[in-house]
Amino acid sequence: MFSSLSDSLDKTFRNLRGVGKISEKNITDALREIRLALLEADVEFTVAKTFIAHVKEKAMGADVLKSIKPGEQIVKIFHDELAELLGGDQVPLNLDSPGRILLCGLNGAGKTTTAGKLANRLKREGRKPLLIACDLYRPAAIDQLATVAGQVGVPVYTPDASESDVVKVAKEALAWADSQDGDVVIFDTAGRQEIDERLVEELKQLHAFLKPQETLLVADAATGQGAVSVARHFDEAVGIDGIILTKLDGDARGGAALSMRAVTGKPIKYAGEGEKLDQLFEFHPDRMADRILGMGDVVGMVEQVATRIDEKDAMKSMERLASGKFDFYDFLDQMKMIGKLGDMKGLLSLMPGFSKMKKQLPDAAFDPKRLKRTEAIVLSMTPDERRRPEIIKGSRRQRIANGSGSTLVEVNRLLKQFGEMRKMMRSPKKMKKMMGGLGALGGGGGFPGMGGGMPDLGDLDSLMKGLGDKKR
């Protein structure tokens, strides 16, 4: 996400920081390059033009030009204006109890999956969500929502497949919801390949009947300026309260995210990154600005880790690490923990400076198959070999390689990395460094099979609070 824009901005600001004295020409030249980068990222033309004008006005101030580090000042101005363009402060859902959420959007934007993700997130936050299937046109939509509801463990209302009156379905669904122990009702509506009058009229009728507290447009970020046009059209038709951007992980340009808030005046409330049902995150404009400028989002990274890793298991694991009594059984536990984190490349992209680091790392470092191959090697060991790796010598190594479908070189590499890790465990100074924060993700000497380090997953609550203090 935003990779091309981030690279262009990094180059421009690096050149600007290297200039001893900032002049109007320096600023004008830099902003021209930034404007081109924004347009190439598919940011809407008038949005890019207005944004650059605001940045230039502030960057040309006397306090900036005469400051000791004018280049840094301009970067800060750009960051603040970017955060403002994205919406300023994070805007939460405005829900009473019971609350009603109406999801709308075009086909292919990911409404049904997003409905499940939103229900899953609200459930984690202590709510009791209910899902309602109101897509009466797409044959598999009702079954898909039922499947998603089963995966997240929430009740779902599914109308008869022959039903065609969406308002009637909504009326019956509300009667059903009254009999359930729920406090938020999420309506998944039908989409189209393109906006047409029939879709708009149906949405108007449904919206007028339900009077939802939140009408959220689910928009595919990969459609660029097309998504902006869709947002404007839906807002004029039914009046949206916010936007959920999907597929941010697959969008290299990201112009839709930068344009939607300015064009519609509606906040982006959530962003979906990935297919898993726990991959829906609150949209924080300041954090997104950090990510675009290559500053990362450590708070967001820890939040994601905290939702996927059991803190008790993490503490138990870290106690074993601290004791130095680490064997391949512990290693298997670590492998399972890493597996729960999902897409490591996406998670590590939230680290400050990772955009530069990843260019030096082979793609194989993020290959989930590599993790599976490493796990296969460990599972080919006998119980005694897992407890006492030091006994694994010549013939044993060859047997393990044969049993796991790997090579002797791969087995030797794993054992070498594991040995280096055990040495580190027995060094108080190195252990303190490893457990003293997030650790050196992607560096050497980390968990075997991953080609790098691993965050300290111990006291996640304390870590979150500390990071929150730093952000403030």
Going by C-alpha positions, the residue among 223, 200, 453 that lies closest to residue 338 is 453
Rounded CA-CA distance 23/424 in Å is 51
What does the pLDDT read at residue 368? 65
List the CATH number of the domain containing 408. Answer: 1.10.260.30
Rounded CA-CA distance 73/76 in Å is 5
The range of the structural domain enclosing residue 231 comes to 99-295
Q: Does 453 show up as a binding residue in the annotation? A: no
Q: Does 300 show up as a binding residue in the annotation? A: no
Q: Does 36 show up as a binding residue in the annotation? A: no
Q: Does 290 show up as a binding residue in the annotation? A: no
Domain identity same for 365 and 416: yes
Residue 90 lies in a domain: no
Domain identity same for 105 and 236: yes
Q: Does 247 show up as a binding residue in the annotation? A: yes
Q: Does 110 show up as a binding residue in the annotation? A: yes
Answer yes or no: are the C-beta atoms of 102 and 216 closer than 8 Å.
yes
Residue 428 lies in a domain: yes
Residue where a domain stops, chosen among 274, 295, 316: 295
Going by C-alpha positions, the residue among 72, 51, 70, 71 that lies closest to residue 62 is 70
Domain identity same for 263 and 351: no
Report mean pLDDT in 10-residue bins for the chain, 472 residues.
Answer: 68 68 76 83 82 83 60 77 79 84 88 93 92 87 93 93 88 93 92 75 91 91 74 86 82 67 85 84 80 59 61 67 72 72 59 52 59 87 90 91 91 86 65 44 39 39 43 41
Q: What angle do CA 253, 258, 259 make, to 5 degrees?
A: 110
Domain identity same for 281 and 316: no
Domain identity same for 365 and 263: no
Residue 93 lies in a domain: no
Q: Does 242 show up as a binding residue in the annotation? A: no
Domain identity same for 232 and 135: yes
Residue 202 lies in a domain: yes
What does the pLDDT read at residue 147? 94
Residue 94 lies in a domain: no
Q: Does 105 show up as a binding residue in the annotation? A: yes
Q: Does 451 show up as a binding residue in the annotation? A: no
Q: Does 126 show up as a binding residue in the annotation? A: no
Q: Does 223 show up as a binding residue in the annotation? A: no
Per the structure, how many domains does the chain have? 3
Q: Does 415 show up as a binding residue in the annotation? A: no
List the CATH number of the domain containing 16. Answer: 1.20.120.140
Rounded CA-CA distance 111/105 in Å is 7
Q: Does 189 show up as a binding residue in the annotation? A: yes
- How many CB atoms neighbour CB 181 within 10 A? 7
Which three-class secondary structure string do you get for the chain? CCHHHHHHHHHHHHHHHCCCCCCHHHHHHHHHHHHHHHHHCCCCHHHHHHHHHHHHHHHCCHHHHCCCCHHHHHHHHHHHHHHHHCCCCCCCCCCCCCEEEEEECCCCCCHHHHHHHHHHHHHHCCCCEEEEEECCCCCCHHHHHHHHHHHHCCCEECCCCCCCCHHHHHHHHHHHHHCCCCCEEEEEECCCCCCCHHHHHHHHHHHHHHCCCEEEEEEEHHHCHHHHHHHHHHHHHHCCCEEEEECHHHCCCCHHHHHHHHHHCCCEEEEECCCCCCCEEECCHHHHHHHHCCCCCHHHHHHHHHHHCCHHHHHHHHHHHHHCCCCHHHHHHHHHHHHHCCCHHHHHCCCCCHHHHHHHCCHHHHCHHHHHHHHHHHHCCCHHHHHCHHHCCHHHHHHHHHHHCCCHHHHHHHHHHHHHHHHHHCCHHHHHHHHCCCCCCCCCCCECCCCECCCCCCCHHHHHHHHHHHHC
List the CATH number of the domain containing 138. Answer: 3.40.50.300
Domain identity same for 41 and 68: yes
Q: Does 107 show up as a binding residue in the annotation? A: yes
Rounded CA-CA distance 420/412 in Å is 12
Rounded CA-CA distance 307/124 in Å is 9
Answer yes or no: are the C-beta atoms of 136 and 220 closer than 8 Å.
no
Domain identity same for 107 and 233: yes
Going by C-alpha positions, the residue among 375, 395, 370 that lies closest to residue 386 is 375
Domain identity same for 315 and 464: yes
Q: Does 190 show up as a binding residue in the annotation? A: yes
Answer yes or no: are the C-beta atoms of 416 and 397 closer than 8 Å.
no
Residue where a domain stops, chosen among 40, 58, 85: 85
Domain identity same for 78 and 112: no
Q: Is the peptide bond before 98 cis (omega within 30 degrees of 0)?
A: yes
What does the pLDDT read at residue 276? 83
What does the pLDDT read at residue 278? 85
Residue 386 lies in a domain: yes
Q: What is the pTM of this model?
A: 0.64
Residue 384 lies in a domain: yes
Q: Does 306 show up as a binding residue in the annotation? A: no
Residue where a domain stops, chosen among 51, 85, 119: 85
Rounded CA-CA distance 218/106 in Å is 8
Residue 92 lies in a domain: no
Domain identity same for 47 and 124: no
Domain identity same for 26 and 107: no
